[in-house]
Amino acid sequence: MSAAIGMGVWRAPRWLKRHETLLAIILVIALIALGAFNDRFLTVENLLDQGRFITETGLIALPMTFVIITGGIDLSVGAIVGLCAIMLGYSWKTFGFPLPLAIVFALFVGALAGFVNGFVITRVRVPPLIMTIATLALYRGLAEGVSQAHSVRGYPDWFYFLGQGSLFGVPTQLLLLVVLIVVAGVALDRTTFGRALYAIGANETAARFSALPVDRVKLIVYTLSGLASGLAAWVLVSRVTTTRMDMGIGYELDVIAAVVLGGASIFGGSGTIWGTVIGLVMIQLLKNGLALTGVKGDATIVVIGVALILSVLIASSLQRRRD
């Protein structure tokens, strides 16, 4: 190193070469560029407003980071959001549960849906991709079947506090997301559970031989993914005031795009919560910035698709050069 400096060759320090740092730099550039194009973009009000929209996918992206680090994937999250939203609305309106109990019930259904994914993946050894494609159809189908395409509305006012209210001037759900980001970040970085995720993703056989409870850890991770989807459903229903069976369609794309954009390898073994958060913010600001400059909502899906493919392409070519 010192020899290199002595020869007058500047080497970038390691932290600068990290995926997250590069992303953060791109993010700042994008922010400035979008802000220059549109004076409504870089306002506190707009940015806080975006925080509301980010929360639903953000909540799911945290456990999805865990899932992808273990080398798995969960495509059923959007369907679980739909199922939980329906369960929340129906258990309250049709079964007559008190609303707090209905919320708990919806969260339980989410966790159960995730648990079923994890159970079959670990016990029967169905590949996560196929398992969650199957339950994507199943859970969405249950939401459709239970609701018969009817929507539920007319929740009491206090219910909207989570999705529409604010605390200390910050959207309520954004505070919830921030707390959970910190929890997830610490869990991933500082606990044996978190480190086990990397071990499993890097080499599952080695992890088994190291006496790590691989199956139990995976089961927990998929259950968390379902639970977070239930939480997202609660926030979503509270924000948009209605429960519909088609809620959460396409969430899997946004969430996976954010995690992969954030530097998690789709092959498992690497990824960080901080990267995922930057990926999330980037996608949301891209959507918002494009919308403000007049690009229609559907065209922004195109941008997310392109961003997803490009980020994986770039990451894998960097990886290959390093090897």
Sites for another protein among residues 266-295 (CB under 8 A):
266-267
Strands (E), the chain: 166-167, 170-171
Q: Based on the shown chain and the rule CB under 8 A, indicate whether residue 312 belongs to the binding site for another protein.
A: yes
The only residue of 253, 290, 291, 292 in contact with another protein, by rule CB under 8 A: 253
**Contact string 111-130 vs another protein (x = CB under 8 A):** ---------x---xxxx-xx
Q: Which is nearer to another protein, 28 or 149 (CB)?
A: 149
Q: What is the DSSP string of 45-109?
A: HHHHHHHHHHHHHHHHHHHHHHHHHTT---TTHHHHHHHHHHHHHHHHHTS---HHHHHHHHHHH
- φ/ψ region of 125 (left if φ > 0, alpha if ψ in -120 to 50, else beta) reads left
Distance between CA 211 and CA 53 in Å, rounded? 41
Q: Based on the shown chain and the rule CB under 8 A, indicate whether residue 149 belongs to the binding site for another protein.
A: yes
The only residue of 43, 210, 293, 316 in contact with another protein, by rule CB under 8 A: 316
The only residue of 42, 133, 175, 292 in contact with another protein, by rule CB under 8 A: 133
The encoded tokens of residue 313 equal: 């392409």
For residue 288, which of 47, 56, 55, 78 has the smallest C-alpha distance?
Answer: 47
Name the phi and psi angles at 127, rounded to 5: -60, 135
Contact criterion met (CB below 8 Å) for 55 and 235? yes
Q: Which is nearer to another protein, 214 or 260 (CB)?
A: 260
Q: Based on the shown chain and the rule CB under 8 A, indicate whether residue 137 belongs to the binding site for another protein.
A: yes
The only residue of 141, 160, 178, 242 in contact with another protein, by rule CB under 8 A: 141
Length of the chain: 323
What is the SS3 assignment for 135-165?
Answer: HHHHHHHHHHHHHCCCCECCCCHHHHHHHHC
Q: Based on the shown chain and the rule CB under 8 A, indicate whether residue 300 belongs to the binding site for another protein.
A: yes
Contact criterion met (CB below 8 Å) for 84 and 90? no
| Residue type at 62 in one-letter notation | L
Q: Based on the shown chain and the rule CB under 8 A, indicate whether residue 298 belongs to the binding site for another protein.
A: yes
The only residue of 91, 147, 172, 288 in contact with another protein, by rule CB under 8 A: 147
Q: Based on the shown chain and the rule CB under 8 A, indicate whether residue 57 belongs to the binding site for another protein.
A: no
| Residue type at 234 in one-letter notation | W
For residue 128, which of 178, 59, 74, 65 has the smallest C-alpha distance?
Answer: 74
**Contact string 61-100 vs another protein (x = CB under 8 A):** ------------x---------------------------
**Contact string 222-251 vs another protein (x = CB under 8 A):** ----------------------------x-
| Residue type at 260 in one-letter notation | V
Q: Min. distance of Cβ 317 from another protein in angstroms?
A: 8
Q: Min. distance of Cβ 232 from another protein in angstroms?
A: 19
Q: Based on the shown chain and the rule CB under 8 A, indicate whether residue 140 belongs to the binding site for another protein.
A: yes
Residues in the site for another protein, rule: CB under 8 A?
73, 120, 124-127, 129-131, 133-142, 144-145, 147-149, 250, 252-253, 256-257, 260, 266-267, 296, 298-306, 308-309, 312-313, 316-317
